[in-house]
């Protein structure tokens, strides 16, 4: 199934719709939601609904099945009804929701390609009305998407292909505006997620993405994994890889988890 949906298709399909607008460092996405959203959408808070509190697991640890299930039921998610997630434009935050719903077993999740920006560009309406959302019955069962531990990520960097989804200067360790230690996992290949999308937000075509990842080393039966700073943009990378029909595992804790153990090696340059 295509993990993306166009604005025009979304306008004609009955789905559970989650608004996942979010920016690292703020402002809170809920403010933008109240200023206007796609009719029927409910706000999904990335920091609280799609992650456990920051700690030893990193800045955006995997939520427990019980916590994620409770959040999704509160937002009206049921396994029997398709879910569409969206953010402002580039699908970074929406991909986190897509990946978690898939990981916890939802069978039909798609991302609005180009986000709210694509919706409004198509001339479709927005609203400030908050929908009356009945509770859902989604049951969270972990394991629906492949993951990597720190040790597995380190091994994959030498035996397969481990993609670092961050900006090049963070990968090289020239700057680190968020985490206390700069650098990357030794052997990882830099693949910034900004290159997965066209200007304005929509994803590049499947052929474009397939060629991009093939060039980076995702060829034949080479196992692929990805990480970022805290597991959010890496989910975007998994989504781009799925569009290209390349399976990939996610190191959920990512760099913010890697650096919690000072014995783990760090590469620069």
- Strand segments, DSSP code E, in 92-199 are 109-112, 161-164, 189-190
Q: How many other C-beta atoms lie within 10 A of the C-beta of residue 206?
A: 15
User: Could you tell me if 109 and 3 are in contact, meaning their C-beta atoms sit under 8 angstroms apart?
Assistant: yes
Q: Strands across the sheet with 161-164, in order?
A: 189-190, 161-164, 224-227, 249-250
- Per the annotation, the verdict on 44 as an active-site residue is no
Angle in degrees, CA 161, 169, 89, rounded to 5: 80
Nearest residue to 54 (alpha-carbon basis) of 226, 230, 249: 230
User: Could you tell me if 173 and 182 are in contact, meaning their C-beta atoms sit under 8 angstroms apart?
Assistant: yes
Residue from 50, 145, 228, 250 carrying the catalytic annotation: 228
Residues whose CB falls within 8 Å of the CB of residue 114, separated by 6 or more in sequence, listed in order: 7, 89, 91, 121, 200, 201, 202
Task: Identify the helix (H) or strand (E) that includes residue 94.
Answer: helix 92-103
Which tokens belong to 151? 């040790």
Catalytic residues: 228
């Amino acid at each position: 199934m295509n993990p993306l949906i166009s604005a025009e298709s979304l306008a004609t399909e009955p789905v559970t719709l989650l608004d996942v607008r979010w920016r690292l460092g703020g402002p809170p996405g809920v403010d933008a939601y109240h200023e206007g959203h796609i009719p029927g959408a409910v706000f999904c808070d990335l920091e609280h609904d799609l992650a456990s509190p920051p700690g030893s697991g990193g800045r955006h640890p995997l939520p427990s099945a019980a916590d994620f299930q409770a959040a999704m039921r509160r937002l009206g998610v049921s396994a029997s009804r398709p879910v569409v997630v969206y953010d402002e434009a580039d699908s970074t935050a929406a991909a986190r929701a897509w990946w978690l719903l898939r990981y916890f077993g939802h069978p039909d999740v798609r991302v609005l390609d180009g986000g709210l920006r694509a919706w409004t560009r198509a001339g479709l309406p927005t609203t400030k009305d908050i929908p009356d959302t009945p509770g859902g019955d989604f049951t969270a069962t972990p394991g629906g998407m492949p993951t990597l531990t720190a040790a597995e990520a380190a091994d994959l960097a030498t035996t397969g292909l481990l993609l670092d989804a961050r900006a090049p200067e963070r990968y090289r360790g020239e700057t680190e505006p968020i985490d206390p230690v700069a650098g990357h996992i030794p052997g990882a290949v830099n693949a910034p997620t900004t290159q997965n999308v066209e200007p304005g937000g929509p994803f590049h075509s499947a052929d474009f993405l397939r060629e991009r990842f093939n060039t980076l080393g995702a060829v034949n039966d080479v196992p692929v994994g990805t990480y970022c700073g805290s597991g959010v943009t890496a989910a975007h990378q998994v989504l781009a890889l799925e569009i290209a029909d390349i399976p990939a595992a996610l190191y959920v804790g990512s760099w913010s988890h890697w650096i919690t153990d000072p014995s783990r090696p760090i590469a620069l340059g």
